[in-house]
Structures are given as C-alpha cells and as structure tokens.
Chain A
Amino acid sequence: MRSKQLRVLFAAVAALALVASACADDDDADDTTTEAPDNGEATGGDRGNVDGVLVLGSMVPQTGDLSVIVESLQVPIDIAIEEINEAGGVLGEEVVLIQGDDGTDPSVAQTTYDQLVNSENVDAIIGPAPSSVAARVTESIGTDQVPMCSGSTTAADLTDAGDGYFFRTAPGDSLQGPALAELIANDRQTSVAIVARNDDYGSGFADELGTALDGSGIDVTETVLYNPDSGTGYDADVQQAIDSDPEAVVVIGFNDDGAQILSAMIGAGAGPADIPIYTADGMQSDELGATVDPDDPSVVAGIRGTAPAAAPEGIEHPFQGIFAETELPTIFSPYYYDCTILMALAVEAAGTDEGSAVQAAFAGNLEGDNDCSSFAECKQLLEDGETIHYRGASSTFDSWLTMEPGTGIYDTWQYDEDGEQEDLGNQISITL
C-alpha cells in the first residue's frame, strides 16, 4: 500500500513536470526540425519549409483577455491574402494561411508556435497580438529563422527582439507613452496614478508614460502593477492607486482585465463618472462597456485614450474602404494588413521562402526608390528589377528603424455616453 502511494506521488510529480513543460517549453523547438531540402534552393535555414510556396501562420488572440478584438486582427490578414492571391500569389504560387491562437498568453502561444513552425512548417508568422507573447516567442524565432511581423505589439522592450527576425508595423510605446502624456497634458491634469497590467505591455507602457509625464511636469502619484492571472481580485490594486489621491487615473490593460479594474474602480467610488480615466489601445474595444456591465455599457462613458491611428492623416489606401465594409472596429487592422503585404513582398524580393533570405529582404522594401501601395503594383516593380518603397494602409513608412516604424501617429478617442468609441478628432504625431 505504502509503495503504491509513493508511486502515485511520483507519478503526480512526473505528470506535473510534463504539464509544466508543455506550458513553458521554449527552447527545444530546434531539436525537432526536419531536414529534406526538396528543390535545390534550400539553404542552412530550411526546416522543411522551403518549397517555393509561401505558407503564412497567423497568431491572433482567439482566447484570453484580447479575444474580443480577434476579428479586427484576423480579417485584415485574410483581406491581404485575398489581394495577394488575386494578383497571382507569391513566387507564382498561391499563399496559404494557417490560423493559430496566441491565447493572449505566452504559454498558450508557445504551443501554437511550436505547432506552426514544427508541424505546419510555416515560412513566416503574422502576429502575435500581445507584447508578452511576442517577448516569449521571439526567443525562438532567431534560431528557427522564422520571420515574424506583428501589427499590434507595442511594448518598448521589443525593439530589436528576435535576432533580427521580429518586425512590427505598429509603433512602439516609446512613442505612444509621450502621445498619451500629451493628451493628459492637453486636458490640464496635474497629477495621475497609473494602474498597469504587469507584463511586457503594461509595465513597459507605464515606464514610458511615467517618463513622458515627468517631462510635461505632471506628477505621477503612484504606479500600481497588477497581475492579470485568472481568479485574482483587483480591489486592493485600485485602492492603492486611489489612496495616492490623484486628479486622474491611467489604466493600461486589455479588455477583460481592464474591465475588472474598472469594475473595482466603480465599486470604490472612483469610476469614470467620478474621476477622469485615461487608457490606451489595449482597452479600446466596442465590448469594454458591456464587459464591465452587460446591462449598462455606458458605465465607461468619458474614458479617454490614445491608439495607433486606424487611418493616419494624409493616408489614403484602398484597404480602408474594403475593411469598412466589414463593419468591424478598426483596431490595429491596417497594421496587420501591412504586415501581411510586407511579408509577401519580402518573399517576392528574396525570390525564396527561406527564412534568413526573407528576413534580409524585409526592410529593403520600405527604403527603395519607387513608391507603390498595392501588392500587385509593388510585385510588378520588383519583377522589373526595381527597388520599392511600400506605402501602406497604416503608415507611409517614411521613417523606418530597421525593425519598426520611427514615427507614431495616434488617434485620440473616448467612450461616448452610450459606451461606444468616439474619435476626438485630433491625431498626435510623435517622432523619436
């Protein structure tokens, strides 16, 4: 009997270790690579993916705190691929897309990543959505030589992540921090408390915002980092912020955890009706009000924020019209569209779907001599032997810092009295 119980315990420990490693496995992706170069153009970076057909994987938040905005990210990728295939595809072949879930969670995303890279043999990945996930998977993409482009990860510390394989079209928070500080300063607030999600996005944003607020002479009374784990409560985190007696509160989170923070703030008598609340792209969603209170979505009325511009001033691109027909909210949508087009163009320019060649060709298409804004037009120029400068739906990409844009244009927006997003009209442009 006793030895049986010991065996049970041993089995349990082994099982837990298995589960833990399934949840947190990130360094053995390169053990399982396959060889078999099949058409002579393979190089050292072939995982079995180099076959002249561009297979893209997507990593978008089908589950987790960001799941309410998944369509705004996935649909632009679909639109781009449709446009690419209508224009004859890449390297003469139709582009194939394999969808994956980033789970708004690094552990979930790691499983998806391993599957996309090692089972599905994708050539490149579009996504993931949250910065914390990107921080995890970018540890592997350099070794695996998988070019990746995210249209929404904005954490400042992701600059130069992924050994040169991680690109993003959304401007980093070292730009959005100052933009939000400018919005707060324009509203003449003199002191704010910051409540931020404790991950790469939240704490990185809080740092950038704190520095920018300091620079504008606005006092940061308290910075509270909360843990977005399942099952935890946020009343104390909110209380700590309110106790510092700020004029306004900045909440940096995602939809579901942000809604819990707001619910706690309303409960503590410091809701949107009581104190000015500011936020950013992570909590910009038509669902936020209904998540806080299904019976009265207007509880979020008055919250203001910034977000990378859906339609930056001076940019006219056919994508905006096409996407408008879907009636989906334009949260990071043009940035995902641009990522997909840019990745396809990089493969076209490299002449192969081999990872290191694609990675090397990516930035060149944003620095060439001939402007173009549709895939067909850009592809034609490349086929004619010209260099191109892709002018996208999210940005003209006038300033490109190797892996990411050097300029950020931000919408300022608020939740109106019905709890729906309303554009405040003036965009804020920040250049480093």
Chain B
Amino acid sequence: MQLFVQRVFDGLQAGAIYAILALAIVIVFRASGMLNIAQGEIAMFTTFIAWNLFDVGLPWWASSVASLVIGFLVGAVLYRLLIVRLGGGHASPLAVVMVTIGLFLMLNDGAAVIWGTTAKPVPRIFGTGRVEIFGAGVAVQVLGLLAVLGVLVVVFGLLFQRTKLGLALRAVTSNQESAALAGIKVTTVLMIGWGLAGAIGSVAGSFTASGNFAVDRNMMQIVLIYAFAAATLGGFDSPLGAVLGGLIIGLVSELVVGYVAIVGPDLRLLPGFALVIIVLLVRPQGMFGSPKVVRA
C-alpha cells in the first residue's frame, strides 16, 4: 500500500509538470491555432532569469513567482516581435511552426551564451518537508506542485469563462475576422494569450528545475515531448483535457513501469504513448477536444 501511494504521487509529480506545460501549449493553440514547439525552451529561459534573481539573494519561491511575470513578458514580446509579422498561425501555419523550431534552437543556444553551459543548482520551492498520507511520506514539494496546478486550472477556468478578456480570447479562437469586426483588438488579445502561456510555462520550468535540483538548458526537452502527448490525449483545444492528459500520462507511465514487469524501466515511454494511440483511435479529437463537424 505504502509503495502504491508513493508510485501514485511520483506519477502525479511528473504528470503535474507535463500538465502545466501542456496547458501552456493548449492556450497558444486555442488562441492562435498554432503549436509552439519552443514552449519548453521559453520556460527554460525564464527559469534561468529566475535563477539570476535567486543568485542575487531572492528566495527560490519568490524568484519562481517573479518568473511568472518574466514568462508573460517573454511570451508577449515573442508574439509581438515575431509571430505577428508572419501573419499569425492561421495565415501560414507551416512558417510559424518553423519559426518556433528556430526559436527552440535560438533559446537553447542563447541560454548557453548568456548563462554558460553549466547547470545552476536550485533548491525545492516548498522545501524538503514531508506529510504522511496512507503511511507513505509524501514530499510537501509534490503537494505544493499539485496545489499550484489546481490554482492554475481554477484561475484559467474563471479567466476564460467569466472575464471579458476570456470572452475575447474565445472569440478570437472561434473566428478572428468576426472578432476583429466586433471590435476586438485581435493582435493584443493574442499577445496576451502568448504571454499567459509564457507565464504558465515558467511554472513548469521552476518546478522541473526544482525537482532536478538544477536549472539546465536541456531540462525541458523530455518534458515537452510528454506535454505534447498530454495535449494530444486530452485534446489540443481543451485546457482541462491538457491537465487531465498530463496527470494520466504521468500516472500511467509510473504505475505500468512499476507493476508490469515486461515493460520495466527500459520501455518507460511506451505506456503513455500507447495510451495516446488508443485514445486517438477511438476519439481522434482527444478525450476532451471538440470534434470536427464535416458537412457531407
């Protein structure tokens, strides 16, 4: 029982990080209809900036909070300076995807130039304490991470459903031309969408670094792959789907590797991605994605 509880929390810990990054990916996809391949690297970049704050004496948790603002700015600026000039995701999706690949490489190498190539040590955001749950000692760090994920879900749920900004974001997602005709400043709204994704991504970055005990310019790459899987599983246009997708992939990976001897640690990528394929066969739009209606 104790071991099972530990595995569940280990799975949720990884899953929550995938979920947060997937949430960022989905928000960009919803707002601008494009996939940001560089989302993980943006998160890495803002986490390095947070490390600078930590290095000059700010506590790590406070630096992580500050990185939310930094992430917002980085996301918004990238959109305003780069993506807008390409006409956004709807006009030329291939060009935009290529640009985000370029961004991926640029941010990765840029981090090496700015911060050097060695990893920077950081502590846990919520310290090293533990709480006993069903006989298992669960790290406060993990509970904190899950709480942060919960807060993000609620805040973004409210933002999308209950605010004018959320309405504008949804309007732009649904039809940019009509939204513009209705007086919505599409570019500004999309810039905010990118900014929000950058801010959320920075949370994933802070927690990944904190879990690894180090900020490292390659730390988000495997997380990005899982986050894409999470978004695919949940549905690319569903924030809730992204979150559940992330948690499910984290849990399934941990439990199957732990309990199915034939899979074992060598095939750790298999269970999560097998699940994605199965779900896509049954529901091509993902668990919570909106189906495409086709006129016969």
Residues of A within 8 A of B (CB): 2, 4-5, 7-8, 11-12, 14-16, 18-19, 23, 62-64, 67-68, 70, 101, 103, 105, 107-108, 198, 225-227, 229-240, 243, 256-257, 259-260, 263-264, 266-269, 287, 290-294
Contact B213 A259 (CB under 8 A): yes
Contact B33 A4 (CB under 8 A): yes
Contact A4 B90 (CB under 8 A): yes
Contact A19 B101 (CB under 8 A): yes
Interface-side segment among B2-10, B70-78, B79-87, B147-155: B2-10
A275 to chain B, nearest CB (A): 15
Contact A230 B208 (CB under 8 A): yes
State A68–B120 Cα separation when bound (angstroms).
9
List which B109-131 residues lie within 8 A (CB) of chain A: 112, 116-119, 121, 123, 128, 130
A420 to chain B, nearest CB (A): 17
Contacts of B138 in A (CB 8 A): 235
Contact A236 B137 (CB under 8 A): no
Contact A291 B94 (CB under 8 A): no
Question: Given contacts A231-B208, A233-B211, are A198 and B266 in contact (CB under 8 A)?
Answer: yes
Contact B265 A229 (CB under 8 A): no
Contacts of A293 in B (CB 8 A): 128
Contact B14 A15 (CB under 8 A): no
Assuming A8-B89, A230-B222, A231-B207, what are 8 further A-B pairs, CB within 8 angstroms?
Answer: A63-B117, A231-B17, A231-B18, A231-B208, A232-B10, A233-B14, A240-B258, A267-B137
B94 to chain A, nearest CB (A): 5
Contact A233 B37 (CB under 8 A): no
A112 to chain B, nearest CB (A): 10
Contact B218 A64 (CB under 8 A): yes
Determine if B50 is an interface residue (Cβ-Cβ < 8 Å). no
Determine if B203 is an interface residue (Cβ-Cβ < 8 Å). no
Contact A256 B266 (CB under 8 A): no
Question: Given contacts A2-B292, A11-B97, A15-B97, are A239 and B136 in contact (CB under 8 A)?
Answer: yes
A132 to chain B, nearest CB (A): 13
Contacts of B202 in A (CB 8 A): none
Identify which of B104, B121, B130 contacts A267 (C-beta below 8 A).
Answer: B130
Contacts of A236 in B (CB 8 A): 3, 6-7, 9-10, 254, 258
State A239–B35 Cα separation when bound (angstroms).
39
Contacts of B89 in A (CB 8 A): 8
Contact A15 B119 (CB under 8 A): no
Contact B137 A291 (CB under 8 A): no
B123 to chain A, nearest CB (A): 5
Among B7, B96, B121, B254, find the residue whose CB has the most chain A CB atoms closer than 10 A.
B121
Contacts of A14 in B (CB 8 A): 94, 97
Contact A227 B268 (CB under 8 A): yes
Contact B93 A4 (CB under 8 A): yes
Contacts of A4 in B (CB 8 A): 33, 90, 93
Determine if B98 is an interface residue (Cβ-Cβ < 8 Å). yes
Contact B222 A67 (CB under 8 A): no
A81 to chain B, nearest CB (A): 20
Give the A-B contact count at a CB cut-off of 8 A.
160
Number of B residues whose C-beta is below 8 Å from A? Answer: 64
A183 to chain B, nearest CB (A): 26
Contact A63 B119 (CB under 8 A): yes
State A287–B216 Cα separation when bound (angstroms).
16
Determine if B139 is an interface residue (Cβ-Cβ < 8 Å). yes
Contact A267 B218 (CB under 8 A): no
Contact B268 A67 (CB under 8 A): no
Contacts of B9 in A (CB 8 A): 233, 235-236
Contacts of A11 in B (CB 8 A): 35, 93-94, 96-97
Contacts of A237 in B (CB 8 A): 10
Determine if B270 is an interface residue (Cβ-Cβ < 8 Å). no
State A103–B109 Cα separation when bound (angstroms).
13
Q: Taking CB as reference atom, which chain A residue is nearest B174? A: A1
In the complex, per-residue mask of B217-234: 1 if CB is within 8 Å of any chain A CB, else 0: 111111100101000000
Question: Given contacts A63-B216, A231-B17, are A290 and B121 in contact (CB under 8 A)?
Answer: yes
Identify which of B11, B104, B118, B130 contacts A67 (C-beta below 8 A).
Answer: B118
Contact B228 A62 (CB under 8 A): no
Q: Taking CB as reference atom, which chain B residue is nearest A225? A: B265
A60 to chain B, nearest CB (A): 10
B23 to chain A, nearest CB (A): 15
Identify which of B34, B93, B137, B223 contacts A230 (C-beta below 8 A).
Answer: B223
